[in-house]
Structure formats: C-alpha cells, structure tokens
Amino acid sequence: MSGPRDGSPRGSSSSAGSAYQVTTDPAICAEMTRDRSRTVYGAHGNQIWPLKLLGTTVALAGTFLFLFAAGSLLLRTRAVATLARPVPEYRGLTGARWWIGAPVTTAVGPLLYLWVWKHMFLTTWLAANSLWPQRFTNVFVVWSVIVGLIGWALIAFNHVTTTRKQGATLTSYGLTEPGGRFDWSAVGRSALMVVAVLAPVYVVLTVVAGAWHVDFRRMLVNSVVLTLGAFVWLLLCYVPLLAGGTALFGSDPTTVTSMGMGMGMGMGGISYLGMLVLWPLAACLYTYFFRRTGRTFVGSFLVTAVIVWSMEAANDFGMWPIIG
C-alpha cells in the first residue's frame, strides 16, 4: 500500500504534491481497501462486471477441457496417430526418496518467485525490448528459466545417484526411442499437433474479442485452484497482513510491493494468482499426453504455448513503449 510520507491516512493532505511511499500500516491499508471497494463496486452496487467474470470463467473452463478432447481426437487421425505409443516402464523415485523429492520440487518455484520479483522489480535483468516488450512477463521468463535449470539439475542428480541404478535411460524419461535413437520426426509432428489443437481456440478467441471485446485468457488472474506450493506461498504472504500485522517477509519496501501489497507496481502477488490455475493445468496436460504418447514432446509444447499465451494476455498492460 502507499500513503503520504507523514503517515496520515489517504484523504488527508500534508502538503501540495506530497510524495507517496510504501507502508504496511494496517489502518492505512484497511482504509485504502475500503476506498478501492467503493470504487470497484460503485456507490449503489450496480456493476455488471461480476457477470462478465462468470462468463469468462465458463469460457476458460471450456477451453481447458477442449485441449484434452481435441488432442485425444487428433491422436486417432492418420497424420499424428504414430505419436500414440506405449508408456515407458517407470524407473523413477519410489518410497522415501519420492516423499523427499516431492516437497523439494514443490518448494522450488514458490521460494524463488519472490526473490526473482524483488530483484527484477526496479532493476530488471531482462529489460523490455522489441522481442520481449512486456516487463512483467519478462519476470516470469527469468523465473521459469531459473526454476527449469534447477529442475533439470535435480533430475540429473537423481539419475546419477538413484534412477540410473534402477535402469533408467533417456527412453524412460520419454525423450528417445527404445535403443536410444532420437526421433526428430516425432518432435515435428508433436509441434504440428499442438498448432492444430490451439488453432480453433485462437479462432474462437479472436471472434469473441472482436465482437464483445472479451479476452477469456485474462480470467487466469482471477481464478483460484489450490495448488499446494503456490497456495501456501500466498497464505504466508497475506495472512499476517490481513490479521492486522506486518507482511511475513519483512518491512523492506521492495519486498512488500513485489509481493503485491503496493499501489501501482505491486504486481508480484497479483500475477502469482494465475499460477494457481496454470500449474494444475500444466500437470494434467503433461501427465495426460505423456500417457497417450509415451513421450514428453506433445505435453511440453502444449503447456509452453498455453502458459505463454495466457501470461502474455494477463500482463499486456505491463508493456514499455518501443521506439523505432
């Protein structure tokens, strides 16, 4: 939240043109929340945007279901039927090792999220440019790359210390054919299949956006699904503040605003809500298409396209002007 430097509540004037700063004062936060509620809902509660939110939620749910149905039908066609193959025999972690690895994997993304947002909030590691013009989306790019590299490192560590001894190979991970051959044609057909799955969704979205100016991808920011790691992160961020205390991660202004407590620039916590929907969807898509194809390609391409498409729509207001 922001307030005058003299600490007085919003609405009281300290001096003309007084500057604003970050504050976690519960009284100021509560007052500004009430003020914003009156602004959003209107003096008489005659807003219709909740109906729009309901409609876009239904459209988004239908889109998610369509991805599975369309992919399943396409795998029955002659063009990509060869992608449907048996699932490799499981050679991964089991027992106590699985129960240790699961919380570690779950915690990596949430724990690094605030750290990346804090360090890219004012001084960006990947500045907006002609190729990647969205500032907030670039934060997710850096975060995803870091989490991905750590994920690959954990997979390599597990392979060297455990799964290789259990007979795991690149085929077990869904990367190569039995015998170790890498099938480039399968990669190409997987990419074409993903294009075919998403093309109807894009057409429907274009028609809806053109006729009614509605982009149902943005509903990701307003939807909530209880993904364990992300949900726990949000609880740790907001429960102390809503209880009248101070944000758990300290009173550092950059940390507080990157969590989403600030006025204007506090987009970290807000943008993270989309992950509560995208992560369960990504897990379901990965699992479903891995079991249908025995390879990681279709699931990887589809998840990447959906997440990039959705986050780009959710953060299109975070663009810097590109000159030239």
Listed by start position, the domains of the chain span: 1-47, 49-314
Amino acid at 255: T
pLDDT digits (tens, 9 = 90+) for 136-145: 788 888 888 9
Q: What value does the mean pLDDT of the chain take?
A: 75
pLDDT recorded at residue 185? 93
pLDDT recorded at residue 277? 76
User: CB within 8 A of 24, min separation 6: which ones?
Assistant: 1, 241, 246, 247, 251, 256, 261
Largest CA distance in the chain: 76
pLDDT recorded at residue 88? 92
pLDDT recorded at residue 34? 60
Give the mean pLDDT of 279-284: 86
- What share of the chain in percent tops pLDDT 90? 29
Q: For strand 20-22 and strand 2-4, is the pairing parallel, antiparallel, or unpaired?
A: antiparallel
How far from chain centre, in Å, is Cα 80? 29
pLDDT recorded at residue 230? 58
pLDDT recorded at residue 316? 62
- Contact between 270 and 260 under an 8 Å Cβ cutoff? The reply is yes
pLDDT digits (tens, 9 = 90+) for 107-117: 888 788 877 87
More confident residue, 36 or 278: 278
pLDDT recorded at residue 6? 42
For residues 300 and 321, give the distance between their C-alpha atoms in angstroms, rounded to a whole number.
32
pLDDT digits (tens, 9 = 90+) for 127-162: 777 777 777 788 888 888 999 999 999 999 999 999
pLDDT recorded at residue 270? 64
pLDDT recorded at residue 265? 37
pLDDT recorded at residue 7? 41
More confident residue, 319 or 104: 104
pLDDT recorded at residue 287? 92
- The token duo for 37 is 């509620």
pLDDT recorded at residue 8? 43
pLDDT recorded at residue 136? 76
- The token duo for 68 is 């599975």
pLDDT recorded at residue 256? 53
pLDDT above 50 for 45: yes
pLDDT above 70 for 58: yes
